[in-house]
A = this chain, B = another copy of it.
Amino acid sequence: FDSLFDAAKELAGTESDAKVPVELLRYLCDSYQQIVERHTGKPFPQKPADQLRGAIEAVFRSWNGPRAIAYREREHIAHDLGTAVNVQAMVFGNRDDNSGTGVGFTRDPATGAKGAYGDFLVNAQGEDVVAGIRNTEPISELKKKFPKVHAELSKIFSRLETHYADMCDTEFTIEQGKLWMLQTRVGKRTGAAALKMAVDMVRPSDLGITRAEAVSRITEDHLDSVLHPQFAGSGYSVWAKGLGASPGAAVGRAVFTAEEAVEMSKGGPVILVRKETTPDDIHGMDVAKGILTAVGGKSSHAAVVARGMGRPCIVGAGSISIDERGQKFTVKSRVVKQGDWISIDGTTGAVYAGQVPTIEPDPHSGHFGKFMQWADEFRGTFGVRANADIPRDAKAARLFGAEGIGLCRTEHMFFAADRIPHMQAMILAREEKDRRKALQKLLPMQRKDFAGLFEAMDGFPVVIRTLDPPLHEFLPKREELMVDIARFPHLGGGGKKELAEKYNMKAGDLKKGLPELLKRVEELHEFNPMLGHRGCRLGITYPEITEMQARAIFEAAVQVAKKGKKVIPEVMIPLVGSEGELENQKAIVTRVAKEVLDKEKMNDLHYLVGTMIEIPRAALLADQIAQQAEFFSFGTNDLTQTTMGLSRDDYTKFSGEYQNLKIFKADPFQSIDQEGVGKLIETAIKLGRGVRNDLDIGICGEHGGDPSSVEYCYRVGMNYVSCSPYRVPIARLAAAQAAIAGADKSESMRTA
């Protein structure tokens, strides 16, 4: 249909649908009817009732179209909800130049600013506006061209906002000067707009929503988008310009189709570049960090969808010319090929070449700060901590409102270039004596890291986990070493030198050293590392490691406390499955703590020793474990893996089939599997609190940043969640929403 119409416009020498002459339209009608007959095998129905029924059925059928299904999946809309069809008499916005059509928002959906917002086209039908084919005029122009219509529309907007108590989007048509409202619904908005509107609409404003309603209206995506980074400084040369349609900065490699976006996003961030987007592009937009289109206005498909998704988006960048088949676009003489880096600013509409540095958003400013304050009031005593391993992350976490560190993975510190040689020396040592020597070198480094965390968290608890991963993770890869040994006799001097550098050996030592190294690597090789010699099992077989870490923790604590800061160390033992394991490790920690604190006469420094609950046996025997543990922290990553017998890394091989077959209700590594893993969590809470009714219970798996999981943690009576620093506001919001949703019982569980 479209190519015939394009041909007609070409024949008529116009780019406007409305200017195609009647004769050509008649001809097109005949041609369209033939197309229908060819494809359906039946002539085009001539009775209006048949046409209407066909149109109604087509709408109903669209419920099960692949695009609709994909949309519902993304928006978590139930597939059995069904749809309705509204039948209205047709009005024509393309009747003449006293007609027109537009899309209007009662407030600015990008910024939340009060006042009508939108665009319209004279002598056009609605799809021309939405499709972004013709460049639209802003709604403010309506006042000049159709003053009566504009006044009427303003009254309607005001009435709609009062009725819905929210910002609405509308579609309208003007037929020969008369305004017809086609539809309205609560409008999609950017995160920043959502926050501003939520705050603006609260009593005593004219819309008068409650704070609870305001808090409940903000979604994960809204917050996520305002937490997006911005470009650092200015002065980068703008390369092309479009309309900023969804705010935030995005950097990625250019891709030109949704399919490529999905494929390439596996390897890193991508920016989807399209002439215009259609619903067929949704999956590509979903994985892209940002979206850039050459045509369309702020109400075009690309703009609306990107805002809903919280993705930075630029539309209508007319100066770029896209060659989809050639997988490139050009701006003047410059060519950007697929895979080249570009940076886009969805707030200003600026496109930059290469990777522009970004800076972090300030989560304390303006509406955001006020909003989060309200959220925190609802959240009550339920805490939100952050997972942070280094002082920089700890500082970011505090900025985002974290009330402590829920997980510091000490091993992450050992991977640094200046530390890994000591770590390797420790692992390769055959005797305790040599191991202690290497640990002695690591001690001051760990102490310094911990001191940084304690300083950043002044007054808030810091949960430090003892060494967790299997030791072989710190050594060269087994198969790589085997290959290098096989290659070794055939290498020239240069190759040998390279090898010597790689393994930090003298070239002359390689012949003997490589097989020796391999021997130790083989000894440490594990069939199932996830279920192997790791966690507290390491600390039990090498107590000197736990000892060194405990010493670093308490020496750092003493050092920071002496500066007048309040230090609350919580030492966490990982992978515990029995009371005996925790008892063993706790004894080491408390002995070292006593030594250090005695020496400094600081025995009033309060600390806790607790454990991760991350294997099913720990949950099943939580009453025994609580005899020793002063706190529990659910490691839901590992708990999910062991409870489901499913390795997260290996699951990727068949997760596609499992999603298609809907084996699990949701991705269990995204949202806590409440009916399976949840049973163990609830068992552990009940058993643990049965022994210690004030047991502090939290979660430090990645689920701690997932709203539905946070809601679950709140509901089952945990004391806090811990998540990555950037997810902290989202977790705070999710907890507030859970509280508003009426989980008062959980609050009493925590404070009992």
Interface of A toward B, CB cutoff 8 Å? 478-479, 482-483, 485-487, 489-490, 526-533, 537, 540-541, 575, 577-578, 580-581, 584, 614-617, 620-621, 638, 641-647, 649-650, 653-654, 657-658, 661-664, 673, 675-677, 679-680
Contacts and interface: CB of A to CB of B under 8 A. Distances in A.
A482 B487 CA distance: 11
A533 B638 contact: no
18 contacts: A479-B482, A483-B483, A483-B485, A526-B650, A527-B530, A527-B650, A530-B647, A533-B653, A537-B654, A575-B645, A578-B664, A580-B662, A580-B663, A580-B664, A584-B663, A616-B644, A617-B643, A638-B645
A617 B531 contact: no
B533 A531 contact: no
Given A617-B676, A645-B531, A654-B540, A661 B486 contact: no
A649 B528 contact: yes
Contact of A644 (B490, B577, B661): B577
A680 B531 contact: no
B533 A645 contact: no
Contacts of A621: 675-676, 679
Contact of A647 (B527, B580, B679): B527
A690 to B, nearest CB: 15
Nearest to A578: B663
Max count, chain B CB within 10 A of own CB: residue among A482, A584, A645, A675: A645
A615 B642 CA distance: 8
Contacts of A533: 650, 653-654
A686 to B, nearest CB: 13
Contact of A531 (B478, B578, B641): B641
Contacts of A614: 645
B527 A653 contact: no
Contacts of A527: 529-530, 647, 649-650
Nearest to A638: B645
A430 to B, nearest CB: 15
A647 B525 CA distance: 13
A642 B663 contact: no
Max count, chain B CB within 10 A of own CB: residue among A526, A537, A617, A638: A617
A576 to B, nearest CB: 10
A192 B415 CA distance: 61
Given A528-B649, A531-B646, A638-B645, 9 more contacts: A489-B490, A529-B650, A540-B657, A577-B676, A578-B663, A580-B661, A584-B661, A616-B643, A620-B643
A23 to B, nearest CB: 54
Given A527-B529, A531-B528, A531-B647, A677 B540 contact: no
Contacts of A617: 643-645, 673, 676-677
A675 B621 CA distance: 8
Contacts of A680: 616, 620
Give chain A's interface secondary structure class.
helix
Contact of A661 (B540, B575, B641, B676): B540
Contacts of A526: 647, 649-650, 653
Contacts of A649: 526-528
Nearest to A652: B533
Contact of A486 (B486, B577, B584, B642): B486
A459 B115 CA distance: 83
A639 to B, nearest CB: 9
A512 B386 CA distance: 50
A621 B679 CA distance: 9
A581 B664 CA distance: 9
Contacts of A620: 643, 676, 679-680
A621 B674 CA distance: 11
Contacts of A663: 540, 578, 580-581, 584
A220 B680 CA distance: 36
A482 B485 CA distance: 11
Contacts of A616: 616, 642-645, 676, 680
A41 B431 CA distance: 36
A617 B673 CA distance: 10
Given A529-B527, A530-B531, A658 B577 contact: no
A71 B416 CA distance: 50
A526 to B, nearest CB: 5
Contacts of A575: 645
A581 B650 CA distance: 17
A19 to B, nearest CB: 53
A535 B645 CA distance: 11
A525 B562 CA distance: 52
Contact of A650 (B483, B528, B662, B677): B528
Nearest to A615: B645
Contacts of A530: 527-528, 531, 645, 647
A643 B615 contact: yes
Contacts of A647: 526-528, 530-532
A490 B647 CA distance: 39
A485 B487 CA distance: 10
A496 to B, nearest CB: 15
Contacts of A581: 663
Contacts of A489: 490
A529 B661 CA distance: 23
| 5 nearest A-B pairs in the assembled complex, by CB-CB distance | A615-B645, A532-B650, A531-B647, A479-B479, A528-B647
A685 to B, nearest CB: 15
A5 to B, nearest CB: 42
A729 B157 CA distance: 85
Max count, chain B CB within 10 A of own CB: residue among A530, A614, A662: A530
Contacts of A478: 479
A727 B675 CA distance: 38
Contacts of A641: 528, 531
Max count, chain B CB within 10 A of own CB: residue among A537, A540, A662, A679: A537
A207 B653 CA distance: 67
A621 B621 CA distance: 19
Nearest to A658: B540
A83 B362 CA distance: 74
